Amino acid sequence: MSEKNAPSQTPAIKAVSVHKAFGSLHVLKGIDLTVMPGTVTVMLGPSGSGKSTFLRLINQLETLTGGSIEVDGELIGYKHVAKNGREVLQTLNDKEIAAQRAKLGMVFQRFNLFPHMTALENVMEAPVHVLHMKKAEARDIAVRELERVGLSDRLDYYPVQLSGGQQQRVAIARALAMKPEIMLFDEPTSALDPELVGEVLGVMRSLAKAGMTMVCVTHEIGFAREVADQVVFMDGGVIVEQGGPEIIEHPTQERFKDFLQHVL
Ligand code: ADP
Ligand code: MG
């Protein structure tokens, strides 16, 4: 089949006119963003611009004030049901929301590993307790995912015995063990000492190469330049500039130019 005749793909994420307010604080003011499967989107923007809020909305850790988000073609938080011969939107129950969230893996700035569990136990935890997987099977998966992030020799280490970079790699393995379709990263290297940033970006780079769909909030411009298919610059709750990685070299908007001058 030629490229031209290929059926159009369903976006991994499609956000339309997304608004979010916390009381009177209007944080997101109409975000439109489409992420295609197998692509990497890097979100840049100053602190307070609404980047984390946007990721948290995708993962249903917050609820929308307006607009809609589809993940893998499915509206999040709602479903269409027939009622009195009409289609109406009904909110999803907790179980349905959990099923939608299972498509997404999220990695935060703070890794939040369970301190009383080893690396292996941390990665096994959700497959056993959320997916009700047998321990032996969960162990196999955890070993494989820890291998993938380069920690085969640290399976039985506790978080305090690991560096920040190693802990963050365990956190990535923990998300991957749930077999997400999409990975969301919220400043995964911001809390790390500079010499530990590279190992985490390396894992993210290899995930991207393996075809994972990723949305990454980061200030690592080099990573954005090298890995991103799409770059989004947010400020004040709106997308100010958006395009391929070349927009980093050739920004058109003043606010984006200023931002780049400060981070580069
Ligand atoms: P970024 O990740 O770009 O730094 P955030 O999404 O964390 O920005 O925050 C955007 C704005 O929303 C900030 O002003 C922040 O204080 C506010 N905010 C975020 N979460 C909440 C919340 N749960 N309640 C009230 N205000 C919030
Ligand atoms: Mg943030």
The ligand that comes nearest to the alpha carbon of residue 49 is 1
Instruction: Say yes or no to pLDDT of 14 above 80.
Output: yes
Give the pTM: 0.94
pLDDT of residue 4: 55
Contact in structure between 19 and 28 (CB atoms under 8 Å) = yes
- Where do the H-state alpha helices sit in 151-220? 164-176, 194-209
Centroid of ligand 2 to alpha carbon of 56 (angstroms): 10
Contact in structure between 39 and 14 (CB atoms under 8 Å) = no
Centroid of ligand 1 to alpha carbon of 211 (angstroms): 31
pLDDT of residue 5: 55
Mapped onto helix, strand or coil, the DSSP state of residue 161 is helix
192-201 confidence digits (pLDDT tens) = 999 999 999 9
Q: Write down the mean pLDDT value for the chain.
A: 95
The ligand that comes nearest to the alpha carbon of residue 110 is 2
Contact in structure between 184 and 69 (CB atoms under 8 Å) = no
pLDDT of residue 254: 97
Instruction: Say yes or no to pLDDT of 117 above 50.
Output: yes
84-105 confidence digits (pLDDT tens) = 889 998 999 999 999 999 999 9
Q: Which of the two residues, 264 and 127, has the higher pLDDT score?
A: 127
Pocket test for ligand 1, best of 42, 47, 53 (most atoms within 8 A of CB): 53
Atom of ligand 1 nearest to the CA of 187: 2
Predicted confidence band at 264 (pLDDT cuts at 50, 70, 90)?
confident
Percent of the chain with pLDDT over 70: 97
- Which has the closest alpha carbon to 187: 71, 54, 63? 54
Protein residue with least CA distance to atom 23, ligand 1: 22
Instruction: Say yes or no to pLDDT of 2 above 60.
Output: no
C-alpha to C-alpha distance for 115 and 40, rounded to whole angstroms: 31
Q: Which of the two residues, 111 and 138, has the higher pLDDT score?
A: 138
Q: What are phi and psi of 197, to 5 degrees?
A: -65, -40
pLDDT of residue 140: 98
In the structure, which protein residues have their CB atom closer than 6 angstroms to any atom of ligand 1?
Answer: 22, 25, 27, 45, 47-53
- Among the listed ranges 3-7, 134-138, 153-157, which one has the minimum average pLDDT value? 3-7
Q: What are phi and psi of 186, to 5 degrees?
A: -110, 95
In this prediction, residues 111-129 reach a mean pLDDT of 95
Instruction: Say yes or no to pLDDT of 6 above 90.
Output: no
